[in-house]
Homo-oligomer: A and B are copies of this chain.
Amino acid sequence: MAGARWLDEREARLWQAYRALTRDLQRAFDRQLERDGGVSGADYALLVPLSEAPDGVVRMRELGRAVGWDRSRLSHQVRRMETRGLVTREECVDDARGLMVRLTPSGRAAIEAAAPEHVATVRRYFFDQLSEPEQETLTRLLERLAGKLAADAEG
């Protein structure tokens, strides 16, 4: 590994573009959500699967899988959201280890306030800049990258 091949100029440029884009897009979305819905990016990430579930109820485990977070991060975030009145926590009937998270009316109002402008922002900075074939290409490439990551994670 001492002989690891360095990035050449062309590669460094791509890597730099990737890092800068992910950093700045994240920042732009977080700010928009805070401004238009009074919610953080982390709040919003959880509000999405909750708002799509029947009765706005999702088990912690499923919520964690939906957003790709580990248990600890999810637990902290749900607790914070409960204190802000966005969700409540209830016992899980099926499995006493489990916990159900329920979207409150206030939580639903928050995501409904934030979502339209969020989607508009995603379009503005992402989809509107790419033709349909480019979007297809990008999907294929990103899914391939994610696949390698996932394959190594289990192996």
On A, residues with C-beta under 8 Å from B are: 1-2, 4-7, 10-11, 13-15, 17-18, 20-26, 28, 68, 115-117, 119-120, 122-127, 129-130, 134-135, 137-139, 141-146, 148-150, 152-153
Query: A2, A24, A25, A141 — which one has the most chain B CB atoms within 10 A of its CB?
Result: A141
CB distance from A85 to the nearest CB of B (A): 24
Query: A7, A117, A134, A146 — which one has the most chain B CB atoms within 10 A of its CB?
Result: A146
Number of copies: 2
Q: Is the CB of B119 within 8 A of A7?
A: yes
Q: Is the CB of A126 within 8 A of B21?
A: no
Contact of A17 among B125, B143, B152 (CB under 8 A): B143
